Structure 1
Amino acid sequence: MQWTIIFKKEMLEYWRNFSWIWVPVVFILLAIMDPLTTYYMPIILDTVGGLPEGTSIEMPDIAAADALMMSLQEFSMFGVLIIVLLTMGTISGERKSGVAELVLVKPVRYSHYISSKWAAKITLILTAYLIGLLASWYYVNLLFGDITILAFIQTFLFYGLWLILVVTITIFYNTLLKTPGLIGALSIGTILSMSAINSIFSHKLTWFPNSLSSHIRQLLHTGEIPTALWGTSFVTVTFIIALLFLSFFTFNKKELA
C-alpha cells in the first residue's frame, strides 16, 4: 500500500507539471530529427541555395537499420542528458526541502520510498522513449526501408535497459547527496567515464553496458540477436539491481545518521 500510494503520487505530479506532454514531445523530436534531416538534406541545400549552378548533390544510400540507429544515437546524447536533468532532484529535492522526512516518519520503508520513485520515473521515461521510437520507426519505414515489428520490439526492449541504467545511476546519487546540480554532474561524469572505459577496452569488455548500441546495430542488420547482446543485457540488468539495492543501503545509512 505504501509503495502504491507514493507511486501514484509521483504519477499525479507528472500530470500536474505537464511531464506527460513535454517529455514525449522532446523524445519524438530527438527521434525523428536525424532521419528526416538526412533524407531531405539535398532538398534543404537546394532550397537554401548558395551552391554553384549545376552542382549535383548525391547523398549516400542509408540502410533502414542505420537510419533507426541515428535516433538511438540522439537518445544516447541528448536523451540521456534529459533523463539526468529529470531525475537529479527526484529524492534530493525532497530531502533538501524536508518533505522526505515528513513522508518517512509515517513510517514508510526506505526501499518502498526509493523503488516507487524509481519505478515512476522509469514509467515516464520508457513511455516517452516508446512514443519517440515509434515515430522514428514510422519515418524510417516510409523513407529508408522496412524494419520488422519484431526488430522494433527487440530494439525497444534492449536499448530500454540502457535508459533504465541511466535512471538508476542518478537515483543512486540522489541517496548520497542533497544537491541536484552535483548529482547531475556526477551522473553525467559517471556515464562519460563508462563510455571512455568502453572506448578503450571495447575489444575486451564486449559485455559492458555501453556496448548495447553496437550490438543492437548488429541485430538490426542481421535480424538475429547476437550472443554478445544477451550477455550485455545480463550485465546491465545486474548493474541496475546492484545499484538499486546499494541505493536502499546508502539511503538507510544516511537517514539513520
Structure 2
Amino acid sequence: MKQFVVLLKKELLESRRNFKWMWMPIVFILFGITEPLTAYYMPDILDAVGNLPEGAVIEIPPPTSEEVLLSTIGQYSMMGVLVIVLGFMGTVAGERKNGSASLVLVKPVSYHSYILSKWAAAMILVWISYILGMLSSWYYINILFENISAESFLKALVTYGFWLSFVVTLTVFFSSLTSSPGVAAFSAIAVSIFLSFLSGTFSNQLEWFPSQLSSYTAEILMEGKWSGDLTMTIAATVVLIIILIATSPVLFKKRELS
C-alpha cells in the first residue's frame, strides 16, 4: 500500500509537470460551455452568417435543457474520449519505450502498484475534468434554458462517468501491452468504437454492454427513469474494469520478463 501511495503521488506530480492538470480540465470545461452557448445563440449565428435572402426568417425550435446536456455528453463521447486516450496512451507504453519503466521496476516495486498507480492517477484527473465540464454545462443551461434538477443531473453525471472510467481503463490496459503509444491509442479507440457499434446494432441483446451507458443517460434525462438494466450495466462495467486493471500488471510483467 505504501508503494502505491508513493507511486500515485509521483504520477500526480508528473501530470502537473506535463500540464495535464491545466489543459485537460480546460478542454472539458470548453466542451461543457460550448454546447449551451451554441444552442442558445444558434438563430443569431445563422442570421449573421447564413447569407439568406432579404426578409427570410429562420425559425428553429429551442432545444430543451435535457437535449442540450445530452449534446454536451455527445461531445464527450467523441472529443472527450479522444482527449482521454491521447492524454494517457503513453502512461505505460511511453515509459517502457524510453526506459523509465525499467528504472522504476529494477527497484523492489510491485508491478501491480506500478500499473494501479497510473490507472488511479488517470481516473482522478479524468473525473475532476469531467465533473468540472459537466458543472459548467449545467450552470449555463440553467441560466439560458430551463433548470435541470440536481438529482437528474447527478444521476446522468455518474452514469456516463462509468463509461469514461471504462475508456480510461482500456487505455491503460492497452498501454501496458505495448511499447508504442500510438498502438495503444488506436487499440483503445478501436475497441470503444466497436463496442458502441455492437451496442447500437444489437441494443436489445446487449443491454448490459458498457457502451449502453450513454443510452441509459438519455433515459435518465428525458424520461427520469432508472431501470434495472442500468444497474446491471453499471455492475458489469465495474466488473470489466476490475478484470482489465487486474490482468494489466500480469501481462505487463510477462512482456517485461520476455
TM range (shorter): over 0.9
Judge conservation of contact 1:2–1:108 (CA < 8 Å) in 2.
yes
**Greater displacement, 202-211 / 31-40:** 31-40
Cα drift, residue 144 of structure 1: 2.0
Partner in structure 1 of residue 147 of structure 2? 146
Partner in structure 2 of residue 58 of structure 1? 59
CA distance in 2, matches of 1:159, 1:48: 35
Judge conservation of contact 1:67–1:144 (CA < 8 Å) in 2.
no
Judge conservation of contact 2:86–2:185 (CA < 8 Å) in 1.
yes
Cα drift, residue 61 of structure 1: 3.1
Judge conservation of contact 2:32–2:136 (CA < 8 Å) in 1.
yes
Cα drift, residue 252 of structure 1: 2.1
Give the counterpart letter for 1:235 in structure 2: A
Judge conservation of contact 1:32–1:136 (CA < 8 Å) in 2.
yes
Partner in structure 2 of residue 33 of structure 1? 34
Partner in structure 2 of residue 163 of structure 1? 164
CA distance in 1, matches of 2:65, 2:233: 24
Q: How does 1:67-106 map to 2 (within 5 A)?
A: 67-106=68-107
In percent, how many aligned pairs have the same letter?
46
Judge conservation of contact 1:121–1:167 (CA < 8 Å) in 2.
yes
- RMSD between aligned residues: 1.2
The reply on whether 1:255 has 2:256 as its aligned counterpart is yes
- Cα displacement string for residues 157-194 of structure 1 (whole angstroms, at most 9, x for unaligned residues): 11111111101111111121000111111111111111
Instruction: With the length of structure 1 as denominator, give the TM-score of the two structures.
Output: 0.96
Give the counterpart letter for 2:34 in structure 1: M
CA distance in 1, matches of 2:63, 2:230: 24
Partner in structure 2 of residue 236 of structure 1? 237
CA distance in 1, matches of 2:230, 2:105: 40
Judge conservation of contact 2:220–2:226 (CA < 8 Å) in 1.
yes
CA distance in 1, matches of 2:171, 2:202: 24
Cα drift, residue 240 of structure 1: 0.6
Equivalent position SS for 2:61 = coil
Equivalent position SS for 2:126 = helix
CA distance in 2, matches of 1:105, 1:251: 14
In structure 1, runs of 5+ residues without a counterpart are none
Cα drift, residue 248 of structure 1: 2.0
Judge conservation of contact 2:35–2:137 (CA < 8 Å) in 1.
no
Number of positions where the alignment pairs a residue of Structure 1 with one of Structure 2: 257
Cα drift, residue 102 of structure 1: 1.1
Instruction: With the length of structure 2 as denominator, give the TM-score of the two structures.
Output: 0.96
Cα drift, residue 202 of structure 1: 0.9
- Cα displacement string for residues 212-231 of structure 1 (whole angstroms, at most 9, x for unaligned residues): 11111111123332222111
CA distance in 2, matches of 1:224, 1:143: 25
Cα drift, residue 67 of structure 1: 0.9
Cα drift, residue 108 of structure 1: 0.6
Partner in structure 2 of residue 126 of structure 1? 127
Runs of 4+ in 1 over 4 A off after TM superposition: none
CA distance in 1, matches of 2:42, 2:187: 37
Judge conservation of contact 1:216–1:229 (CA < 8 Å) in 2.
no
Cα drift, residue 3 of structure 1: 0.7
CA distance in 1, matches of 2:9, 2:124: 11
